[in-house]
Amino acid sequence: MMLDATHDPALRSWVPSAQAPDTDFPIQNLPLGVAAWGDGHVAIVIAIGDQVCDLARARAAGLLDGLDAAVAGALQAPTLNPLVALGRPALTALRGAVSRMLRADTPEGARAHATSALLTAASEVTMRLPVAIGDYTDFYASIDHATNVGSMFRPDQPLLPNYRHVPIGYHGRASSIVPSGTAIRRPQGQVAANPAGPPTFAPTARLDYELEVGVVIGRGNALGAPIPLAEAEQHLAGLVLVNDWSARDMQAWEYQPLGPFLAKNFATTISPWLVTLDALAPYRVAARGRTTEEPAPLPYLTEARDAAHGAFAITLEVWLRSAAMRAAGMPAVRLSRGDFSSMYWTLAQMVTHHASNGCNLQPGDLVASGTVSGPTKDSRGCLLELTWRGAEPITLPSGETRTFLADGDEVTLCGVCEAPGRPRLGFGGCTGIVEGG
Ligand code: CA
């Protein structure tokens, strides 16, 4: 993994809140996003502590030295697509310049610190989707999630024969992906109490969340040109948190034989900050290994560096706060805690598999991991698993019980990276409140 001066754990910023021990955005993170101001101004920004910095404005003020014309031009866009399309080296160069601008011990930092109104409080802007997402694909890469869900429907054979060979995925819908904070309307659809039918058309009674991590594609590949696994990470711009809201009763009725459709595409929430591959470099760990009883992946899904460093050590949590808890002033309660490094396939393997037939991925495409669940009950990443299809309700601190989500429930996903001798990095929240349908 390539580490440089931007990863130095000793770096300090002239922005005081970047040193707060619980901030998601110390100077070693520098995630990219798109912010809207109250006066209609929209700009690519970087997060530092509890502030955001308009990068085009910083560049115009002469505070981002050494950027080439292509990167500088891409900073003028209202989305990150032109920037991420330039590939990893462009993001690395931008990260270096931004780090120098925000450091407490550089000439660039001294000039930036003396520049008035360079920063805006994050609470004063509205974060938009960071990229215009052309296509969205959702994988199913947690073997613990696949085993749990499979065992509910096929106790004798939880995992289908293909699972350990092929990264399973389906094409989702990009138009209904929304940024954190967007209200989620409870969808209506066909549901059937009896698996043989007949159905009724009604609001879903089994609304669920799915805790996932998504990767935003940077440089694309040409149609017909697969991506070798050794090159896959050059096509990954950064990661976001993903909540793949799911209507389980609609899903159970519609999923055969072609898989998820309206049970999934009514809304998907993502966190607004793109945490770059560069920022995550110190938190890379070995991919989940295979036991001797498990088949080795086919050669196109096998590569030494991916096996050694292909996973990301991100601790992922789900928090719930009901309307009654908000009214009583009670804080959110944590429902689960898992680790993204437990996935059966790496993001690079998923992307290589996606393009292995020549399918072209494009800048801004979103590729999500599938529900992140671990082997223990407290690491199950959706209510379907946590309540075992509703058979084991959970009790909230308010005394309320849940099998699936109720109107007014606020679901927040969090992701944090920690490593010995390294600062804590976070993704910012990924939140949605359920509204009645
Ligand atoms: Ca999913």
The per-residue pLDDT for 437 is: 72
Distance 97 CA to ligand 1 centre (A): 36
pTM: 0.98
How many whole angstroms from 244 Cα to the centroid of ligand 1?
5
CA of 371 to the centre of ligand 1 (A): 5
Q: How far is the CA of 179 from the centre of ligand 1 (A)?
A: 17
Residue 213 pLDDT: 98
Which regions of the chain are under pLDDT 50? none
Residue 1 pLDDT? 64
Q: Which helix (H) or strand (E) holds 33?
A: strand 32-36
Percentage of the chain exceeding pLDDT 70: 100
Catalytic, out of 145, 235, 353, 354:
145
How many whole angstroms from 138 Cα to the centroid of ligand 1?
Answer: 6
Residue 112 alpha carbon to ligand 1 centre in Å:
42
Note the residue count of the chain.
437
145 catalytic? Reply is yes
Please check whether residue 339 is in contact with residue 314, taking contact to mean a CB–CB distance below 8 angstroms: yes
The 8-class DSSP code of residue 286 comes to: P
Strands 177-179 and 268-270: parallel
Instruction: Give the side-chain half-sphere CA count within 13 A for 176.
Output: 19
**How close is the Cα of 419 to the center of ligand 1, in Å?**
28
List Cα–Cα distances, 12 to 111, 119, 336, in angstroms: 16, 17, 33
pLDDT, position 283: 98
* Per-residue pLDDT at 153: 84
Residues 82-92 have pLDDT tens digits of: 999 999 999 99
Pairing of strands 430-435, 184-185: parallel
CA distance 167 to 406: 33
The alpha carbon of 139 and the centre of ligand 1 are apart by a number of angstroms equal to 7
Residue 214 and residue 338 in contact, taking contact as beta carbons nearer than 8 Å? no
| Tens-place pLDDT, residues 114-173 | 999 999 999 999 999 999 999 999 999 999 999 999 999 889 999 999 999 999 999 999
Q: In 241-388, which ranges are continuous DSSP H helix? A: 248-254, 277-280, 304-309, 323-327, 347-355, 383-386
Closest by Cα among 158, 159, 165 to 290 = 165
